[in-house]
Chains A and B, each alone.
Chain A
C-alpha cells in the first residue's frame, strides 16, 4: 500500500514532482559543474601560464657560478650538459607534469662585417617518442609563445630540410638588412656556415639581436658536439608552501616522511631535484619570475573559484530547500485527510520523505550529468580542453543533495505534524 501511495503521488502529481526534480537537478548541476571546474581550474590555469615560458632552468654545475660572472669566452670555462641525456627528463617521477622543454647552446660568432652575434641552437618543434608510448613536440615554438613572427615562418625541424636554416631577431635583421629567404654568413669558433633565414621574429627582448638555429648547426659552429649549455623546462607545479620552502632552504632538515611527501608533490623544487638526479652534473633551479608568479596567480584563481563555488552551492542549497518546503506545505489538505483517517505522524513523514527522496534522486542524477555538460562547456570555450571529472565530485554532490533536501523537508514536516486534521478539512 505504501508503495502504491508513493507511486500514486509520483504519477498523478507528476507536474509538481517534476518541478521539484527539476529544481533539484538545477541545484545538483550547478554544484557538480562548479565543483568540477573548481577542482580542475588549477591545472587549466597552470597550462595557460605556460605561455610565460620555462619555470625551471637547468645549467651545468660548474657554469652555474662562473659563466655570467666572469664573462669568460666560450669553451674555456665550465662544463656542459650532455645532449644524449635530454630524453631522461621525461622519465622522472613527475614526468607527466613536464609539458615542454628545450636545450640551448650558444655559439658566439662573427658576421662578415666583423661584428659579433650570438647564434643560439635549440629545438623548435623537436619530436620525441616517449617510452610510455606517447609523443611530445617540444621546443621554442611553444615555449616562446610571445614571439611575434614578423616575416616568413617558424623553423620546422620535422620538415627535414632544417639544417643550416635559422630564424633571426628583428633588430639583427634590421641591422643586417636581411629578411626571410636571405642568407647570412657566420663564422663560429670551429666552423663557418651560411645560414638560410626562414623567419624573422620580434621578441621584445635580448633575443631580438640573436640568431636561432637548430642544435646541430650551433654545435658545429661552436665545436661543441653533443654538448649543451642549458635546458629550459616548463613544468606544471604546485604552489610553494611551508614544506617546499623548508626543503628548498635545507633538504636535510626534513624528516623521512616529509622528504617523501615533498618528493611526491609537484613543487618546483622537487621537480628540480628530480631533474638533477637524471642529468649529470647539473643544477636545476626554479626561475623565480615565472615560478613565484605562477604560484600567486594559481592560488588566487583557485581561491576565487572556491568562493564562487561556495556562493553558488549556498544558492543552490537554499533554492532547493525553499522549493521543497513550499511544495510540501502545499499538500497540507491531503495530509490532514490522511491524519484524519488515522495515519500516524511517523508514517505521514515517511511517506513525504520517501516521495521527495525518490524525486531528489532522479533530479540529482539528471543534474549531475547536466552539470558535467556545463563543466565541459566551460572547459572547451575557455581553455579549449575538456574538464577532468574528479570522482570525488559524485559523493560530494550526492551528500549535498541529500542534506539539502532533508533540511528543506524539516520545516514542512514540522508543520505537517502540527496540523490538526479538523482544521484542514473544515475549510481552513
Chain B
C-alpha cells in the first residue's frame, strides 16, 4: 500500500479549479518534489496533503485513511501524528527559544522531552544555539529549527512548502543536505518549490500547471547518497 494516494482530487473555489482531477501516489521513503509556477495549485495541494484543507471532490488516502472524510478535529490529530511541516516563512513562535520551539511540537504530540529536542537540534547542527530566540538566529538557522521541529515526532511525511524560498544559496545548500540526510534515514519527503535546483535533487518531480499534473520527471541519476560537495550529477 502506498503511503499517500490522491485519487481524482478536485479543489474548486467558485469558478476557479485550483486542483483539477489530480491523481498521484507517493511511496514510503520516497522523495518527491512538486513544482509549478505560482497559481498552479501547489499551495492548495500542499494544504490538502498537510491536512489543513479538504478537497472538494476525490479521495486522499494517507496510510490508507481517507482524510477527505475526516472531521476537522481528526485532521488535526492526523497532522500531528503523521506530518511534519516546514514553511517558507519559518513560523517560529518568536518568544520561545529554538529548543522550546522544538519542544512545542513534542508538547502537542505527546510529551515534551528536552534531551530529545536537543538531539534534534544537534542533527540540524544547532545544538549550540538552542537557547537563542528566533530573532537572534539567521534565516538559515531558523529554517533548520523548523526542520528539527518537523522531524521531532518521527512523522510519516515531511511536507516542506518552499523551504528555501527565503534563504540565500549557502543556507539553501545546508537545508537540501539536511533533506538528503532525512531521506537516507528513510523519511518520506514532499517538497513544494518553484526552484528547479531544489526540485531536481528529488527522486521524482511532479509539475503542476493550472491545477493539473502536466509532467512527471524521474531523476534517473538519483543515488540517494548524493552530497552537494560531491560531483553534481546533472
Contacts and interface: CB of A to CB of B under 8 A. Distances in A.
B171 to A, nearest CB: 12
B74 interface: no
Contact of A426 (B91, B94, B139): B139
Contacts, number: 11
Contacts of B166: 426-427
Interface size band for A: under 10
Interface of A: 426-428
A427 B166 CA distance: 9
A428 B137 CA distance: 10
A419 to B, nearest CB: 13
A49 B8 CA distance: 86
**Which 8 A/B pairs are nearest by Cβ-Cβ distance?**
A427-B89, A427-B90, A428-B94, A426-B166, A426-B139, A427-B166, A428-B135, A427-B91
Interface of B: 89-91, 94, 134-135, 139, 142, 166
B230 to A, nearest CB: 31
B29 to A, nearest CB: 31
A161 to B, nearest CB: 85
11 contacts: A426-B139, A426-B166, A427-B89, A427-B90, A427-B91, A427-B139, A427-B142, A427-B166, A428-B94, A428-B134, A428-B135
A426 B138 CA distance: 10
Contacts of B94: 428
A28 B94 CA distance: 36
Contacts of A426: 139, 166
B45 to A, nearest CB: 22
B146 to A, nearest CB: 10
A41 to B, nearest CB: 48
Contacts of B135: 428
A427 B142 CA distance: 10
Contacts of A428: 94, 134-135
A426 B134 CA distance: 12
Contacts of B142: 427
Nearest to A428: B94
Given A426-B139, A427-B91, A428-B94, 7 more contacts: A426-B166, A427-B89, A427-B90, A427-B139, A427-B166, A428-B134, A428-B135
A426 B91 CA distance: 11
Contacts of B139: 426-427
Contacts of A427: 89-91, 139, 142, 166
Nearest to A427: B89
A347 B89 CA distance: 29
A426 B142 CA distance: 11
Contacts of B134: 428
A428 B135 CA distance: 7
B133 to A, nearest CB: 11
Nearest to A423: B135
Contacts of B90: 427
Contacts of B89: 427
B162 to A, nearest CB: 12
B58 to A, nearest CB: 33
Nearest to B143: A427
A336 B91 CA distance: 18
B2 to A, nearest CB: 34
Contacts of B91: 427
A42 to B, nearest CB: 52
B89 to A, nearest CB: 4
Nearest to B91: A427
Nearest to B94: A428
B134 to A, nearest CB: 7
Nearest to B135: A428
B227 to A, nearest CB: 28
A353 B94 CA distance: 28
A134 to B, nearest CB: 69
Nearest to B88: A427
A426 B90 CA distance: 10
B165 to A, nearest CB: 10
A325 to B, nearest CB: 18
B148 to A, nearest CB: 17
A278 B201 CA distance: 110
A426 to B, nearest CB: 6
A217 to B, nearest CB: 88
B141 to A, nearest CB: 12
A426 B166 CA distance: 7
A297 to B, nearest CB: 55
